[in-house]
A and B are shown apart, each in its own frame.
Chain A
Amino acid sequence: MNRFIRRHQGTLTPLLLLSPAILTMLFVVAIPLVFSFYTSLTPYRLTRPESIEIFVGFRNYVRLFGNDDFWAAFLRTILFLAIALNVEFILGLGIALLINKITWGQRTLRTIMMFPMMFSPILVGFQFKFIFNDNIGILNNALQSLGITDQAIPWLVDGKLAMFSIIFAEVWMSTSVFAILLLAGLFAMPRDPLEAAKVDGCNAWQTFRHITLPFIMPFAFIAMTIRSLDVARAYDIVAVMTDGGPAGRTELLWTMIARVGYENARMGQANAMAYISTILSIAFTYYFFTKLVAARRYMGGAE
């Protein structure tokens, strides 16, 4: 035995040292994943624990492939993600560039910028639900008082307006994630290339397009990866503001999954939905990571 240990000491030590990490990963990630995948192959109902023992194969998945409502929610989530991320990126970039220019009160502004993120998403949902209320909401009352419209605009009922309202709330809450990460990028940026560009006669737009933007893109892709995972799981704000309605017009994956899993107590079916929806998160993460690597390589080349 001792001889065995002595002979394999070189290979055993790293394994031994890594074992706490491996065990943690196994218990925290792998086992729950395997278990929830197994439940997606059963008609498991939370209120009937014994139903976890009935194996139905891929029945839940087959049902989902024929479920138009699920795929509509899937596509709507992609649309929601794409719009929210782009708007947050553009606004976050604008805010970061503006704050970067300020010389006095920058710290205070940075703190103020973080305020929306400090609210719970449920509170943000309630806040915007009442702002967008058609009868007693501030927005409609303001628009009517200013004479801009004499109609009550159905912000949370009309399909497009309801998506807009939810995206607005999401953007309001989370733009600062982009702003803060991009600002960190701007702070870390070396002055030399900027000064060299100035000497070479670049105008402000050219400097921004060819020097600043490529430099902060890796930061943007990190923000996008974080936010894409967040937005793909969007639930609280949507649940409070519309709960996927009216008539499923704002139904996203997680409002549907939560309803099926908890309210209907059909956890097996909900887990099948969740497994398909993780494809979305994996796809977006993979895409942004490839972009991140490309952006880094580009920066490497530029050096």
Chain B
Amino acid sequence: MPRLTMKAMVATALVPLMAVPAVAQDYGNYDGYTLRVKLIGGAQYEPLYAEIEKWEEMTGASVEILSRKNHFELDREIKQDIAASTLDWCVGSNHTSFAPQYGSIYTDLREIVSEDALAGFVPLVLEHGTVDGRLVQLPRHSDVSNLFYIKSIFEDADNQAAFRDEYGYDLAPPETWDQVKDQAMFFADPPDFFGTQFVGKDEAITGRFYEMLVAEGGQLFSDDWEPTFNSDAGVRALSFFVDLYEAGAVPVGVPNYLWDDTGLGFASGTVAMNLDWGGWSAFFNDPENSKVAGDIGLIRAPKGSAGIRTGWSGSHTFSVTETCDNKAAAASFVTFLTDYDRQMVEARKGLLPTRTQVWDDAKAEFASDGNDFLVTVFETYQASMAEDAFTPPLIPEWIEVSNVLWPKLQAAMVGDMSPAEALNEAAEEALLVMEDAGYR
């Protein structure tokens, strides 16, 4: 590339960076105050916490981290706090899927965070953080899945010819889930190579089934909260997973897979296509960890038969408790943790930002570093976060409904019952959950 073009690109890339206001935001003065917080812990969440001391310096307050646990343990702890009325802390990590369970313990952030601070967020993501009309959480980073694939096997001439002979259309990165199914069965050569894979237990498979249900034109519940996932669309959605499993197009262990299994599986080079979140991108493209580094294609999640793309999404967020003794300090803290600079810190690690400006600037920064792969990643995920993303129903019973659904989804997968039987049984149990909760 000519040096001049390179310079021009770098200069263009830096324009948005320069457009950011140079004056640091005023986070207030809370001299001597100790803010008590409960945060989600884990390798990918930690770099942000290294920034906390900057907020302490700016405001004179100090932050006491009461716990730093994985999300499920934190969820357990918060439920215990609700039960024991020990909500004597101010800021907690939260998640869009979990937030509705906590009732009214978190305050409406629209009352304590300025409109200016909220204006920079992607509007759809803020909408996902709203429960019963109250903005109970400020999104930190988002999560949606797109399809990674091994480029070379799609470009291979022999594969293209053989695929055309067998299926009657050209082999290309798939636009629909039907094509994914064809291609997965075509590429599969168990136990050495698999067409695709999916997470197969806990809320993970419920989410995957749910997004496929939507893509097939179905819904989990009717308007008056009767479970409707046992519809034709539901059977089609579940059959997608069952058919792939029965055909051996996915590893035989998938009913037990979670995110680490699918991520490491794709990096091992034994899986052709992998629907996954953006957080794995850097890992997949790192030759030290991944056998497919440098050979990865990425497209937006394909469409179901209803013409809708799958887009099960959620965001990691921060909330402020109603019982907080200094809501202004807490608001300042969560605003700080989700401000422009902090989101850039997380974006550089490959996490998907929730501020429009950060999407653009992070992309520009990757481009100036010559990291074309991460640019593609951010372009693809930005498009799906803006257009395809949808959350599960934001009701407190989501996890409980998930817990009656996923064992039945597994039962259909491993052949204990047919997809229709499995969904009918799950719908009966889910109806009980909804009745117990007073929806019907």
Q: Which of chain B's residues 71-87 have a Cβ closer than 8 Å to chain A? A: 72, 75-76, 79-80, 82-83, 85
User: How distant is the Cα of A150 from the Cα of B189 in the complex, in angstroms?
Assistant: 12
Task: Say whether B414 contacts A246, CB under 8 Å.
Answer: yes
B residues less than 8 Å from A266 (CB atoms) = 400
Task: Say whether A242 contacts B256, CB under 8 Å.
Answer: yes
Task: Say whether B253 contacts A46, CB under 8 Å.
Answer: no
Task: Say whether A247 contacts B407, CB under 8 Å.
Answer: yes
User: How distant is the Cα of A155 from the Cα of B268 in the complex, in angstroms?
Assistant: 19
| 1/0 contact string of B397-424 vs chain A (CB within 8 Å) | 0011001001110110110100000000
Q: How far is the CB of B184 from chain A (nearest CB, A)?
A: 14
Known interface pairs A49-B85, A245-B255, A245-B410; A262-B76 also in contact (CB < 8 Å): yes
Task: Say whether B261 contacts A47, CB under 8 Å.
Answer: no
Q: Give chain B's interface secondary structure class.
A: helix
Binds B, one of A12-20, A113-121, A130-138: A130-138
Task: Say whether B201 contacts A48, CB under 8 Å.
Answer: no
Task: Say whether A157 contacts B256, CB under 8 Å.
Answer: yes
Task: Say whether B403 contacts A152, CB under 8 Å.
Answer: no
B residues less than 8 Å from A263 (CB atoms) = 72, 75, 399-400, 403
Q: Would you call A175 an interface residue if the criterion is a C-beta within 8 Å of the partner chain's C-beta atoms?
A: no
Q: How far is the CB of A159 from chain B (nearest CB, A)?
A: 9
User: How distant is the Cα of A157 from the Cα of B72 in the complex, in angstroms?
Assistant: 24
B residues less than 8 Å from A242 (CB atoms) = 201, 256
Q: Would you call A229 an interface residue if the criterion is a C-beta within 8 Å of the partner chain's C-beta atoms?
A: no
Chain B residue nearest to A150 (CB atoms) is B191
| 1/0 contact string of B180-224 vs chain A (CB within 8 Å) | 000000000011001001001110000000000000000000000
Task: Say whether A248 contacts B251, CB under 8 Å.
Answer: no
Known interface pairs A133-B261, A134-B253, A156-B256; A46-B399 also in contact (CB < 8 Å): no
Task: Say whether B270 contacts A135, CB under 8 Å.
Answer: yes
Task: Say whether B103 contacts A47, CB under 8 Å.
Answer: yes
Task: Say whether B407 contacts A134, CB under 8 Å.
Answer: no
Q: Would you call A151 an interface residue if the criterion is a C-beta within 8 Å of the partner chain's C-beta atoms?
A: yes
Task: Say whether A245 contacts B399, CB under 8 Å.
Answer: no
Known interface pairs A47-B103, A246-B200; A134-B75 also in contact (CB < 8 Å): no
Q: Give chain A's interface secondary structure class.
A: loop
Known interface pairs A136-B270, A246-B410, A246-B414; A49-B194 also in contact (CB < 8 Å): no
Q: Would you call A171 an interface residue if the criterion is a C-beta within 8 Å of the partner chain's C-beta atoms?
A: no
Chain A residue nearest to B396 (CB atoms) is A47
Which of B72, B79, B270, B406 has a CB less than 8 Å from the CB of A265? B79
A residues less than 8 Å from B261 (CB atoms) = 133, 136
Known interface pairs A136-B264, A243-B202; A157-B253 also in contact (CB < 8 Å): yes
Task: Say whether A49 contacts B399, CB under 8 Å.
Answer: no
Known interface pairs A245-B201, A248-B407; A46-B191 also in contact (CB < 8 Å): no
B residues less than 8 Å from A265 (CB atoms) = 79, 101, 400
| 1/0 contact string of A91-134 vs chain B (CB within 8 Å) | 00000000000000000000000000000000000000100011
Q: Would you call B135 an interface residue if the criterion is a C-beta within 8 Å of the partner chain's C-beta atoms?
A: no
Task: Say whether B251 contacts A247, CB under 8 Å.
Answer: no
Task: Say whether A264 contacts B400, CB under 8 Å.
Answer: yes
User: How distant is the Cα of A101 from the Cα of B256 in the complex, in angstroms?
Assistant: 43
Q: Which of chain B's residues 219-248 have a Cβ closer than 8 Å to chain A? A: none
Q: Would you call B102 an interface residue if the criterion is a C-beta within 8 Å of the partner chain's C-beta atoms?
A: yes
Q: How far is the CB of B190 from chain A (nearest CB, A)?
A: 6
Q: Would you call A140 an interface residue if the criterion is a C-beta within 8 Å of the partner chain's C-beta atoms?
A: yes
Q: Would you call B265 an interface residue if the criterion is a C-beta within 8 Å of the partner chain's C-beta atoms?
A: yes
User: How distant is the Cα of A247 from the Cα of B414 in the complex, in angstroms?
Assistant: 8
Q: Which of chain B's residues 101-141 have a Cβ closer than 8 Å to chain A? A: 101-103
Additional pairs, 8, CB under 8 Å, beyond known A144-B191, A242-B201, A248-B407: A134-B253, A135-B253, A136-B268, A245-B406, A246-B200, A246-B255, A246-B410, A262-B79
Interface residues of B (CB under 8 A from A): 72, 75-76, 79-80, 82-83, 85, 101-103, 190-191, 194, 197, 200-202, 251-253, 255-256, 261, 264-265, 268, 270-271, 396, 399-400, 403, 406-408, 410-411, 413-414, 416, 436
Offer 15 A-B interface pairs, CB within 8 angstroms, sorted by A.
A46-B82, A47-B82, A47-B101, A134-B253, A245-B200, A245-B407, A246-B411, A247-B410, A247-B411, A248-B411, A262-B75, A263-B72, A264-B399, A264-B400, A265-B400
Interface residues of A (CB under 8 A from B): 43, 46-49, 129, 133-136, 140, 144, 150-152, 154-157, 162, 241-248, 259, 262-267
